[in-house]
A = this chain, B = another copy of it.
Amino acid sequence: MTTKEAVMASLNTIAVPGIPRSVVEMNLVRDIAINDHRVDVKLAAAAINKDTQDALKSQIEQMWGRLDGVTSIGVTFEEIGPIEVNNITNVIAIMSGKGGVGKSLVSGLTAIALRRQGFSVGILDADITGPSIPKMFGLNKIPEGSDNGFLPVISKTGIEVMSLNLLLPDENEAVIWRGPVIGKAIAQFWEEVLWGQLDYLIIDLPPGTADAPLTVLQRLPVAGIIIVSSPQDLATMIVKKAVSMAKLMNKTIIGVVENMSYLYVREIDKKIELFGSSKGQEMARAAGAPLIAQIPIDPELARLCDQGDIESYSSQDIERLGKFIAKTELNFPEGSLECKSCGNKCSH
């Protein structure tokens, strides 16, 4: 006779069309019932349209031959939304207050670093009017979906991405929305995108301390914030506003990343501090959190971002960033007593 575990293992080989992640990884499996030689599988319909449902149904029905003593498999779909299906262990917001210091870059590199360590990772691009993530990752596929939600688009290395730019007919088109509409779009990315089972969801916030960060910090279970800064005094002042917002909203800052710290000119073997001397330690003190990384200006990195190939970049800084976050205890969002992953006070 077969077991639920064996059925799950088989289901884990069934990929959701258009996404190289299985129905198990997308957390779609709601119930498995085994009665004699019959197995019944109930899946969530979240964001899965009728065609995809039919395709999954027929694939799963044909799975019976692989299961010991099973002669037939029934598949039903339950009409529930992504928010009831998603199971995201750690939500991390990348914030700076100041524009152009490299929030999207740090969001991308953080996701890549965690992915390289084997975690399942998604990026929610909350910069609705200036979304950079799809371009960096070379993504231009339109997200699929149903009445019930959207599927994320998957990057080359398997990172789930949702961004308003993926939903626009032309990436150069302006999104001229007032703040509350922007807040609503971000809430939809949280509630109506099928993220499935994720170890980390990275939220790329826009500059400023207005609607977008406010919505994210109020409505999403953000477990930790990474503050991105640059060495210029001027930037530091604005970034401190983001720190002050995070503190006002009782959020944990897990670390500070300084971007554009210096430029290394090989010809003269010299580090040039283009934007002044590092303010990394000063920012770390202001944030009450460690300085995790100092990322230099690297023309090669700029080139890879422009080519949509950020995932082929590697550096020691990025590795350190990933390791630091992976070893940080994040499972307990401020005020919560339960691990978001398993419901207990644990280090899941």
| Alpha-carbon distance between A268 and B175 when the two chains are bound, in angstroms | 44
Taking CB atoms, residues of chain B closer than 8 Å to A243 are 172
* B-contacting residues, A223-252, CB 8 Å: 230, 232-235, 237-238, 240-245, 248
Question: Is the Cβ of A173 less than 8 Å from the Cβ of B241?
Answer: yes
Question: Is the Cβ of A100 less than 8 Å from the Cβ of B97?
Answer: no
| Alpha-carbon distance between A183 and B99 when the two chains are bound, in angstroms | 19
Q: Is A214 an interface residue (CB 8 A)?
A: yes
Taking CB atoms, residues of chain B closer than 8 Å to A176 are 209-210, 214, 245, 248
Question: Could you mark each residue 19-36 of chain A with 1 if its beta carbon is under 8 Å from any beta carbon of chain B, else 0?
Answer: 000000000000000000
Question: Is the Cβ of A174 less than 8 Å from the Cβ of B245?
Answer: yes
Question: Is the Cβ of B175 less than 8 Å from the Cβ of A178?
Answer: no
Stretch of A301-309, A327-335, A340-348 contacting B (4+ beta carbons < 8 Å): A301-309
Q: Is A132 an interface residue (CB 8 A)?
A: yes
Q: Is A220 an interface residue (CB 8 A)?
A: no
Question: Is the Cβ of B210 less than 8 Å from the Cβ of A179?
Answer: yes
Taking CB atoms, residues of chain B closer than 8 Å to A240 are 172
Q: Is A180 an interface residue (CB 8 A)?
A: yes
Question: Is the Cβ of A173 less than 8 Å from the Cβ of B130?
Answer: no
- Smallest CB gap from A130: residue in B: B238
Q: Is A129 an interface residue (CB 8 A)?
A: yes
Question: Is the Cβ of A130 less than 8 Å from the Cβ of B241?
Answer: yes
Total interface residues on A, using CB and 8 Å? 63
Question: Is the Cβ of A210 less than 8 Å from the Cβ of B129?
Answer: yes
| Alpha-carbon distance between A178 and B238 when the two chains are bound, in angstroms | 18
| CB-contact partner of A130 in B128, B208, B272, B299, under 8 A | B208
| Alpha-carbon distance between A276 and B273 when the two chains are bound, in angstroms | 19
Q: Is A139 an interface residue (CB 8 A)?
A: no
Knowing A100-B100, A265-B272, A274-B263, the reply to whether A174 touches B130 (Cβ < 8 A) is: no
| CB-contact partner of A97 in B129, B235, B265, under 8 A | B129
Question: Is the Cβ of A135 less than 8 Å from the Cβ of B207?
Answer: no
Q: Is A171 an interface residue (CB 8 A)?
A: yes
| Alpha-carbon distance between A265 and B265 when the two chains are bound, in angstroms | 9
| CB-contact partner of A98 in B99, B182, B238, B273, under 8 A | B99
Question: Could you mark each residue 114-151 of chain A with 1 if its beta carbon is under 8 Å from any beta carbon of chain B, else 0?
Answer: 00000000000000111110011000000000000000
| Alpha-carbon distance between A210 and B276 when the two chains are bound, in angstroms | 32
Question: Is the Cβ of B207 less than 8 Å from the Cβ of A207?
Answer: yes
| Alpha-carbon distance between A174 and B208 when the two chains are bound, in angstroms | 9
Given contacts A178-B211, A275-B299, 20 further A-B pairs with CB under 8 A are A99-B100, A100-B100, A135-B237, A136-B234, A172-B241, A172-B244, A173-B244, A174-B244, A175-B241, A177-B210, A178-B179, A178-B210, A179-B179, A232-B306, A234-B305, A265-B267, A265-B268, A268-B268, A273-B299, A274-B297
- On A, residues with C-beta under 8 Å from B are 97-101, 104, 128-132, 135-136, 171-180, 182-183, 206-211, 214, 230, 232-235, 237-238, 240-245, 248, 263, 265, 267-268, 270, 272-276, 286, 297, 299, 302-303, 305-306
